[in-house]
Structure 1
Amino acid sequence: MKHPWDRPLGVWYLAEHHPDAPAVLHCPAGETLTFAGLAARAHRAVHALRALGAGRGDVIGLALPNDLDILVWQLAAAEAGWRYVTLNPRSPAPEVAAIAAHAGMKALIVHAAYADRAGAVDTVPVRVGVGGPIDGFVPQEEALAGHPDSPPPDRAAGTPLVYTSGTTGTPKGIWRDLPDAAPEAAADLMKTFAHAFRFTPLEGAHLVSAGMFHGGCQSFYLAALHAGQPLVIMGSFDAEETLRLVHEHRITTGYMVPTQFTRLLHLPSGVRDRYDVSSLESIVHSAAPCPPEIKKRMLDWWGPVVWETYGGTEGAATIAKPHHWLAKPGTVGRPIRGMTVRILDDDGAELPPGRVGAVYLDGGGRGFSYHRDPEQTAAVFRGTAFTLGDAGYLDEDGFLFIVDRIKDMIITGGVNVYPAEVENALAAHPAVLDSAVVGVPDPEWGEQVRAFVQPAPGHEPSDALAADLIAHCRERLAGHKCPRAVEFRTELPRTETGKLYKRLLRP
């Protein structure tokens, strides 16, 4: 073997050729599993759900917390030819029911902790309950009873059916054709993803600290697992517990979102210094913009191990390696192999470096559609290029900089203001734990800039603090970009992946 990647990988290969290698080192259930043990549980789940009526090409829904069960059912889908929807388990019953109907779900697996949410949905034909009784659901233990843990016949690769978080409206399902590949081949392909972020095969451990239902988090923990890195799964994020697990398990890789960085940085220095984080090699962040000041402080603390990627479930686009970001603070990187980034004006004409426009991503083909929504699919594509709705620009070296969401842009007195720039300025103030900037109607200016701020621990809302924050912005930004008013909140409405629900803040 000339190179660590010059060998087959993937869960199914590892279960056969490295059966005793650890696959899960830590999880809320208190269990550890080898690759052989994990594969056996997935096999058994396939046998069980097939017996209940799930067939190749069917859609299954998973409303499960961070733990072993969601991983087992994902892997089962990946070898049974099912599409799987990982639902936010905290979503209310009407939202789950709407997604189930839209996706055409054949089966729904729900944890008893969400019996009054996803567990209240009775419109899906096959329903399995995990972790306790749910009315109308077959207990998982009963469904699995009597089924073997041997590989099932007629195995076929499955694929996720991801529904977007819906921060600006109704969630959309991202539909792809089922892979024309054996499960072993599809799993082995994941090593390309892991390789891009310098995950070392069969070495180290991967920390799962974000919601496992989220597509971004899934991409990274599945890539790590398929590369032979065992998982350390957190039930929910806690800043000090994160450091403890990094220290205890010598974590090398992980996926995080910027709000987690903020919480980590607000730990007292005595707590941070208590734990050794020198094992870290590649911590990737995405999902929401990271203020440059926050990222710089994380790099100062953890060293050049913080990577960034831009894209969406629709398709990956760029990678910012740590040394590139340090040379060009704020960049989200250069396009990955096979992807072209284009900056277009409102008429679809390509803009030169330095000019802000709509960011379009072109992989040379239409690799997805929005399920049962041809109009929305058509709206995001120009030829083979699609947009995620962001504004940005390319510099002379081809590095991409995201300015903001196009829908979030504020126009005050005829001048464009990008809220992210104001939020980045606020993030540098020690009294700010979190912030959101929106435009509100103004009879004279059309819109005015308003900031919503969650104070950091030890700071209380006051008129004096509001005035200080506005003055802080005026030292860093042009006057028309600065908040005219500051409102304080005990918490801002964010998804578990850190995206802001700004529509809930606008009047």
Structure 2
Amino acid sequence: MELRGFGRLYNAAGVFIDHNVQGGLGEKTAIYYRDEQISYRELQEKVNQTGNMLRRLGYRIEDRLVMICHDTPEFIYTFFGAIKIGAVPIPVNTMMQPSDYEYFLNNSRAKGLVIHEDLWERLQLIRERFAFLQDVIVIHENANSSVEGTLSFHRLLACADRELAAAPTNKDDAAFWLFSSGSTGDPKGIIHLQHDMEYALNTYARQVLEINENDRCLSASKLYFAYGLGGGMYFPLGVGASTVLVKERPAPEVMFQAIETYKPTIFFGVPTLYGAMIDYVEKTCRRFDVSSLRVCVSAGEALPPSFYYKWKQLFGVDILDGIGSTEALHIFISNRIGDVKPGSSGKEVPGYEVKIIDGQGNELPPNEVGDLIIRGDSIAHGYWNLHEQNKQKFVGEWLYIGDKYYRDEEGYYWYCGRSDDMLKVGGIWVSPIEVENCLLRHDDVLEAAVVGMENENGLVVPKAFVVLKDGVPRSAEKEEELKQFAKQHLAHYKYPRIIELIDELPKTATGKIQRFKLRQLLKQR
């Protein structure tokens, strides 16, 4: 259908929600959450009720709505309910500080906020600092509860109609925003369009994961992250499969219990979680039934080869490591089922074009390190209110990722680090990832991060911050042992001259190590 001035009508809620009911899957379970099994018909009705609720409150096309929601069914109702009426949902991290939410709300100029009750308790004292906010819609554990000065999500939902026609949006309308993780500074509002999710589904999920309606997905990465939004929501909904939602934080024991209880076939994790789950099994000597899994996925940071081999040894399942970004929406380079090269990010996902270029924009031959750029139709419209950064990051059809990579002769891509994380030691580039992966091969090391440090002569040398496994005592002798271990396995100029043992590494909520904070720490000393 086409209306003059609108272009061809397209609404993502129709693709990911209505289509399944129209296709005869109405009674199939779409969402597993605790003891609930929510069918596709029930999901459609709740999405429609949420959209009608928002419309009754005055929300129209392009009105923005911040979501501070746990991974519960209400997240999905709100996300697609808003999209169906043409409003723009903005899911954000539930583990931030009140000042961060002040930034998200004021930066986005959101008209509304949908928030879980326990999270609103932390925010309500600074409500007067939210410059554009009109409505606070609270999701209560007890549907009959209410908080003065707010609206009750479930009470409003109960009064809303179950039928809803989609707004006359088209494929290039704004559908939702995501904020960047803040691994390199202030989070940036990233604007994604109505068609972006379907493109990521048809490229990565269908062609790499070979996802189908018989799959059941479990994502440890939360829905408010681009990675989790795909793995835990629109990938399974896009093919009529099922998703498992876990509200709790993804500790190893929580994830193992979810796998044993709900029997997912695809598991989405991040490298730090895989390392913690491996360590948990080795430390407790417990055995878990993960036989339902046909494939595991990793993203967020490069998966250390040692994690891949240990996971495969323990559970007999491949982890497909890949690279994606919030700007690209999901993974665009990945290992494949039956084609895994441990330590690499894999090969290009069909539908994306990838180049490695030098500082002048020339494409580099194999085995030369350069800047990674990509193009594909899930790339965001751009950043909100960041004109200069848009010009630097989005250049024509190409997205500048900000990572250093090289491609080997067989077409596999190898991550070398963020562009600003690379070290030049003795005039030679050193990848912090290579040094970190070496240290992770030591039996006592849980995590490691490498940054450049100036020595007394003003020369840059690698320094490693290391987190030891539980029960391993910290000592000067252990630091020296790790230094010698790295020296034996790396070229002489690459090994860390200084090793510092610490309790934990600074990370984003997605599990990415914030090396810039370690560099700041060194400058302050």
TM-score, with length taken from structure 2: 0.87
Alpha-carbon distance between aligned partners in 2 of 1:414 and 1:9, rounded to the nearest angstrom:
53
Q: Which moved more, 1:127-136 or 1:261-270?
A: 127-136
Q: Are 2:48 and 1:33 aligned?
A: no
Residue of 443, 462, 465 corresponding to 1:452: 465
- Partner SS state of residue 493, structure 2: helix
Shift of 1:269: 4.6
Structure 1 segment 69-468 matched on structure 2, within 5 A? 69-119=74-124, 120-121=126-127, 122-123=130-131, 124-131=133-140, 133=146, 136-152=149-165, 154=167, 156=169, 159-179=175-195, 190=201, 193-221=204-232, 222-234=234-246, 235-269=248-282, 274-315=287-328, 316-325=331-340, 328-363=341-376, 368-468=381-481
**For residues 167 and 36 of structure 1, do their structure 2 counterparts lie closer, same or farther at Cα, with a shift above 3 Å needed?**
same
**For residues 436 and 187 of structure 1, do their structure 2 counterparts lie closer, same or farther at Cα, with a shift above 3 Å needed?**
closer
Q: What CA deviation, in whole Å up to 9, does each residue of 1:236-287 have, x standing for no partner?
A: 2121332232233221012110111101111235966632222211221111
Q: What CA deviation, in whole Å up to 9, does each residue of 1:440-486 have, x standing for no partner?
A: 23231432322111111121211111111111111111232222222
Alpha-carbon distance between aligned partners in 1 of 2:413 and 2:208, rounded to the nearest angstrom:
18
Q: Which amino acid aligns with 1:358?
A: D
- Partner SS state of residue 339, structure 2: helix
Whether the 8 Å contact between 1:354 and 1:393 is mirrored in structure 2 is: yes
Whether the 8 Å contact between 2:278 and 2:311 is mirrored in structure 1 is: yes
Alpha-carbon distance between aligned partners in 2 of 1:164 and 1:494, rounded to the nearest angstrom:
14
**For residues 290 and 167 of structure 1, do their structure 2 counterparts lie closer, same or farther at Cα, with a shift above 3 Å needed?**
same
Q: CA RMSD in A?
A: 2.5
**For residues 289 and 189 of structure 1, do their structure 2 counterparts lie closer, same or farther at Cα, with a shift above 3 Å needed?**
closer
Q: What CA deviation, in whole Å up to 9, does each residue of 1:155-202 have, x standing for no partner?
A: 65762211101111111122244449xxxxx76984554312334422
Shift of 1:149: 2.1
Shift of 1:55: 0.8
Q: Are 2:19 and 1:13 aligned?
A: yes
Alpha-carbon distance between aligned partners in 2 of 1:445 and 1:479, rounded to the nearest angstrom:
19
**For residues 189 and 118 of structure 1, do their structure 2 counterparts lie closer, same or farther at Cα, with a shift above 3 Å needed?**
same
Whether the 8 Å contact between 2:192 and 2:380 is mirrored in structure 1 is: yes
**For residues 292 and 102 of structure 1, do their structure 2 counterparts lie closer, same or farther at Cα, with a shift above 3 Å needed?**
same
**For residues 58 and 24 of structure 1, do their structure 2 counterparts lie closer, same or farther at Cα, with a shift above 3 Å needed?**
same
Q: Are 2:54 and 1:49 aligned?
A: yes
Shift of 1:208: 2.6
Q: What CA deviation, in whole Å up to 9, does each residue of 1:391-436 have, x standing for no partner?
A: 1111223221111111011233433222111111111111111111
Q: Which amino acid aligns with 1:357?
A: G
Q: Which moved more, 1:157-166 or 1:460-469?
A: 157-166
Q: Structure 1: which 5+ residue stretches go unaligned?
A: 1-7, 181-185
Instruction: Tell me the percent identity.
Output: 24
Alpha-carbon distance between aligned partners in 2 of 1:380 and 1:293, rounded to the nearest angstrom:
33
Residue of 500, 503, 515 corresponding to 1:490: 503
- Partner SS state of residue 392, structure 1: strand
Whether the 8 Å contact between 2:64 and 2:109 is mirrored in structure 1 is: yes
Alpha-carbon distance between aligned partners in 1 of 2:42 and 2:29, rounded to the nearest angstrom:
9
- Partner SS state of residue 408, structure 1: coil
Shift of 1:227: 1.7
Q: Which amino acid aligns with 2:245?
A: I
Shift of 1:311: 2.2
Q: Which amino acid aligns with 2:415?
A: I
Whether the 8 Å contact between 1:64 and 1:89 is mirrored in structure 2 is: yes
Q: Which moved more, 1:283-292 or 1:95-104?
A: 95-104
Shift of 1:110: 1.3
Q: Which amino acid aligns with 1:12?
A: D
Alpha-carbon distance between aligned partners in 2 of 1:31 and 1:156, rounded to the nearest angstrom:
32
**For residues 366 and 75 of structure 1, do their structure 2 counterparts lie closer, same or farther at Cα, with a shift above 3 Å needed?**
closer
Shift of 1:152: 4.4
Alpha-carbon distance between aligned partners in 2 of 1:425 and 1:173, rounded to the nearest angstrom:
36
- Partner SS state of residue 150, structure 1: coil
Q: What CA deviation, in whole Å up to 9, does each residue of 1:12-64 have, x standing for no partner?
A: 2223422221112233xx43211111221111111111111211122111101
Residue of 10, 23, 31 corresponding to 1:24: 31
Whether the 8 Å contact between 1:258 and 1:289 is mirrored in structure 2 is: yes
Alpha-carbon distance between aligned partners in 2 of 1:37 and 1:445, rounded to the nearest angstrom:
65
**For residues 349 and 61 of structure 1, do their structure 2 counterparts lie closer, same or farther at Cα, with a shift above 3 Å needed?**
same
Q: Which amino acid aligns with 1:32?
A: Q
**For residues 364 and 230 of structure 1, do their structure 2 counterparts lie closer, same or farther at Cα, with a shift above 3 Å needed?**
closer
Q: Structure 2: which 5+ residue stretches go unaligned?
A: 1-13
Alpha-carbon distance between aligned partners in 1 of 2:504 and 2:411, rounded to the nearest angstrom:
37
Whether the 8 Å contact between 1:359 and 1:387 is mirrored in structure 2 is: yes
Whether the 8 Å contact between 1:210 and 1:496 is mirrored in structure 2 is: no
Q: Which moved more, 1:435-444 or 1:152-161?
A: 152-161
Alpha-carbon distance between aligned partners in 1 of 2:338 and 2:418, rounded to the nearest angstrom:
26
Q: What CA deviation, in whole Å up to 9, does each residue of 1:331-362 have, x standing for no partner?
A: 21221223221111111111111111111113
- Partner SS state of residue 453, structure 2: strand
Residue of 477, 485, 488 corresponding to 1:475: 488
Whether the 8 Å contact between 1:14 and 1:228 is mirrored in structure 2 is: yes
Whether the 8 Å contact between 1:64 and 1:111 is mirrored in structure 2 is: yes
Q: What CA deviation, in whole Å up to 9, does each residue of 1:207-242 have, x standing for no partner?
A: 132222111111122211322222222222121332
**For residues 330 and 253 of structure 1, do their structure 2 counterparts lie closer, same or farther at Cα, with a shift above 3 Å needed?**
same
Alpha-carbon distance between aligned partners in 2 of 1:482 and 1:381, rounded to the nearest angstrom:
36
The residue number in structure 2 matching 1:5 is none
The residue number in structure 2 matching 1:4 is none
**For residues 305 and 478 of structure 1, do their structure 2 counterparts lie closer, same or farther at Cα, with a shift above 3 Å needed?**
closer
Whether the 8 Å contact between 2:372 and 2:405 is mirrored in structure 1 is: yes
- Partner SS state of residue 225, structure 1: helix
The residue number in structure 2 matching 1:3 is none
